[in-house]
Amino acid sequence: MDIARLWREQPSNLRLEGRWCEQCDVRLFPSPRYCPECGTGKLAAIQFSGRGSVLAYTTVYDAPKGFAGQVPYVAALIQLDDGPVLPALLTDVVPENVVIGLKVEMVTRRIRCDSSDGPIHYGYKFAPADLLHHL
């Protein structure tokens, strides 16, 4: 198996994995070694559903290196239905149609490509939930 395929197929690139604190019941993403709420190291692995809603967002028109070909794009804070708030890029949306409270689901997409012959970086993005259920 080649290195690029091995990286693409890493479970953490295909789903949202975090931790659940067995002591104070908080759900955490990304996965810390210790709970930031109570300090315990008693954390269990958890897979989040990937469903949530847009809590805040901005449309990016002047992108950093590696993202220029994607402008305009929407960067958002997503409140997961089953846990934490996390930053993410939105996909399959028209920026003008994004609103606070938009229901979204995690999808695996290309994040960026370092060059025309460089590695392609995959990861999570979020797409409108109603779009995914109509496909």
Please list the pLDDT of the chain residue by residue as tens digits (135 residues): 566 566 556 655 567 899 999 999 999 998 899 999 999 999 999 999 999 999 999 999 998 887 778 889 999 999 999 989 999 999 999 999 999 999 999 998 877 666 666 666 778 899 999 876 655
Nearest to 58 by CA among 15, 88, 92, 22: 88
Report yes or no on 28 lying in a domain.
Answer: no
Give the CATH number, domain containing residue 87.
2.40.50
Report yes or no on 84 lying in a domain.
Answer: yes
Give the range of the structural domain holding residue 128, as residue numbers without chain letter: 3-13+50-132
Write down the pLDDT at residue 35: 95
Q: Please name the residues in contact with 113: beta carbons below 8 A apart, sequence gap of 6 or more.
A: 66, 119, 120, 121
Report yes or no on 40 lying in a domain.
Answer: no
Report yes or no on 124 lying in a domain.
Answer: yes
Report yes or no on 86 lying in a domain.
Answer: yes
Write down the pLDDT at residue 135: 52
Report yes or no on 116 lying in a domain.
Answer: yes
Residue pair 54/44 in contact by the 8 Å Cβ criterion: no
The continuous run of DSSP H or E covering 4 comes out as: helix 3-8
Domain count, the chain: 1
Write down the pLDDT at residue 85: 95
Q: Collapse the DSSP code of 89 into the 3-class scheme (helix H, G, I; strand E, B; otherwise coil) and give the result.
A: strand
Write down the pLDDT at residue 122: 74
Say if residue 134 is exposed, middle or buried (CB neighbours under 10 Å; 0-12, 13-18, 19+): exposed
